[in-house]
């Protein structure tokens, strides 16, 4: 499997050949591939690599162990778990399947997920058009990266931006830099510039100023996991943005496909939040090569030995979300009844 090394963007566009499940897990852990849908797709292709590497059919227990290893790679997004559950449902008649069958099933499942993610992203964007009927010039604030890099191609929140632009809207996009990993300033600005969409990077701390001093028509973000009551886990900083949006009466939209919804939990309180390394905050370069050397000479942003807290995600309560835009339609108001009606 060939992956674009997202750690090195936008400095250089390098591809990495991933040859095994172990390398897939590493690629997900090290954020070579990131974004909930892309992680799920990479994970399924990782299972294909595992099956192809076997000279005999693995026992169901061996396969389950591998699946569990994969699941530990990043804990917040639900897409990978749901993709693996669906794959394992296809293995229900395990005893009668050969390893070749398993490979075929896993490959089909991965290809299918890829195709479905792309078509679902397009459907989300199409549905979102109903939210923007009043004017043709829009200023949108987004967070993290939810574009082609994070999905099979179009993107969720960024997919909406692409489709708005294609539908004749004149867009000004503000991309929160998304400290500390900079998905906004490194990746979203890169994607939007290539699309020719007017984009300004802002420091995350500028969102309040932005909503107060300029007309922002909407905040649009993606999701890593949505509880049945609509509480939404997404990149750290999303919750703060939702509060700022509410204070300034700016509509706050979440764009996500069905596989972001986790019906095994009740509320966002039950979502595991990934804690990430302190050095992402305390050093101005946290991108290391395989030998642990920094790509950019290590710089110091804080006293040596300073402690830092680095949650990768937060949960935005449903009450702060104006609508969740899905491939099936728009959920609004966001509450358990409407979520279940649309998504179950
Ligand atoms: O830590 P990351 O970069 O994997 O986090 C990504 C996000 O939080 C995205 O908003 C989310 O996965 C949706 S991508 C369509």
Structural domain including 243 reads: 127-271+311-343
The token pair at 287 is 């991108």
Residue 33, ligand 1, Cβ within 6 A: no
The torsion of the CA quartet 325, 31, 8, 18, rounded to 10 degrees, works out to: -110
Q: How far is the CA of 20 from the centre of ligand 1 (A)?
A: 24
Atom of ligand 1 nearest to the CA of 260: 13
Tell me whether residue 224 is one of the annotated catalytic residues.
Answer: yes
Q: How far are the Cα atoms of 205, 209, 216, 290 from residue 213, in angstroms, in the given order?
A: 14, 6, 9, 44
Residue 302 has pLDDT above 90, yes or no: no
Residues 240, 196 share a domain: yes
Does the beta carbon of 36 lie inside 6 Å of ligand 1?
A: yes
At 61, is the pLDDT very low, low, confident or very high (cuts 50, 70, 90)? Answer: very high
Q: How confident is the model at residue 300 (pLDDT cuts 50, 70, 90)?
A: low
Query: At residue 296, does pLDDT exceed 60?
Result: no
Last residue of a domain, one of 59, 89, 122: 122
Q: Return the structure tokens found at 72.
A: 């530990």
Query: CB–CB of 220/140 below 8 Å?
Result: yes
Give yes or no: residues 202 and 326 share one domain: yes
Same-domain check for residues 74 and 57: yes
Q: Which of 68, 88, 122 is the last residue of a domain?
A: 122
Answer left, alpha or beta for residue 201, where phi above 0 means left and psi between -120 and 50 means alpha: beta
Site to substitute for ligand 1 among 223, 275, 316, most atoms within 8 A of C-beta: 223
- Interval 257-285 mean pLDDT: 92
- The pLDDT assigned to 282 comes to 83
HSE-CB at 60 with a 13 A cutoff on CA atoms is 11
Q: Of 88, 122, 156, which closes a domain?
A: 122
> Which CATH number do you get for residue 212?
3.40.50.10470
Q: Per-residue confidence at 287, pLDDT binned at 50, 70, 90?
A: low
Statement to judge: residues 53 and 132 lie in one domain: no
How many whole angstroms separate alpha carbon 87 and alpha carbon 63?
Answer: 11
Total domains present in the chain: 2
Cβ partners under 8 Å of residue 339, min gap 6:
226, 228, 229, 230, 261, 324, 331
- Kindly state the percentage of the chain with pLDDT values over 90: 90
For residue 188 and ligand 1, the question of a CB distance below 6 A is answered with: no
Q: Are both 219 and 242 inside the same structural domain? A: yes
Residues 138-180 pLDDT 10s: 999 999 999 999 999 999 999 999 999 999 999 999 999 999 9
Same domain, 174 and 196: yes
156 and 266 share one domain: yes
Please give the Cα distance from 202 to 234 (Å, whole number).
Answer: 18
């Amino acid at each position: 499997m060939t992956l674009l090394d997202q750690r090195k963007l936008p400095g250089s566009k390098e591809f990495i050949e991933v040859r095994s499940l172990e390398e897939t897990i590493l690629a997900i852990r090290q954020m070579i591939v990131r974004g909930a849908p892309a992680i799920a797709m990479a994970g399924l292709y990782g299972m294909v690599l595992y099956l192809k590497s076997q000279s005999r059919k693995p026992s169901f227990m061996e396969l389950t162990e591998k699946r569990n290893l994969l699941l530990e790679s990043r804990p917040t997004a639900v897409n990978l778990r749901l993709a693996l559950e669906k794959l394992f449902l296809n293995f229900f008649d395990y005893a009668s399947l050969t390893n070749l069958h398993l490979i075929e099933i896993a490959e089909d499942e991965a290809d299918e997920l890829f195709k479905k993610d792309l078509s679902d992203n397009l459907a989300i964007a199409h549905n979102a058009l109903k939210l923007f009927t009043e004017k043709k010039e829009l200023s949108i604030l987004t967070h993290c990266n939810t574009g082609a890099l994070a999905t099979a191609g179009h993107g969720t929140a960024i997919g909406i931006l692409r489709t708005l632009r294609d539908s004749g809207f004149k867009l000004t996009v503000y991309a929160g830099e998304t400290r500390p990993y900079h998905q906004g300033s490194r990746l979203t600005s890169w994607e939007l510039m290539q699309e020719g969409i007017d984009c300004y990077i802002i420091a995350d701390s500028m969102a309040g100023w932005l909503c107060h001093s300029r007309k922002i028509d909407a905040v649009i973000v993606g999701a890593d996991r949505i509880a049945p009551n609509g509480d939404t886990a997404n990149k750290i900083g999303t919750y703060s943005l939702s509060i700022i949006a509410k204070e300034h009466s700016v509509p706050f939209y979440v764009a996500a496909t069905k596989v972001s919804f986790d019906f095994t939990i009740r509320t966002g309180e039950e979502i595991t939040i990934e804690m990430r390394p302190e050095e992402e905050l305390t050093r101005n370069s946290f991108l290391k090569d395989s030998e642990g050397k920094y790509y950019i000479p290590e710089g110091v942003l804080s006293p040596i030995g300073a402690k830092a807290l680095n949650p990768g995600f937060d949960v935005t309560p449903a009450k702060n979300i104006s609508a969740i835009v899905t491939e099936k339609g728009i959920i609004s108001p966001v509450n358990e009844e409407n979520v279940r009606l649309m998504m179950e």
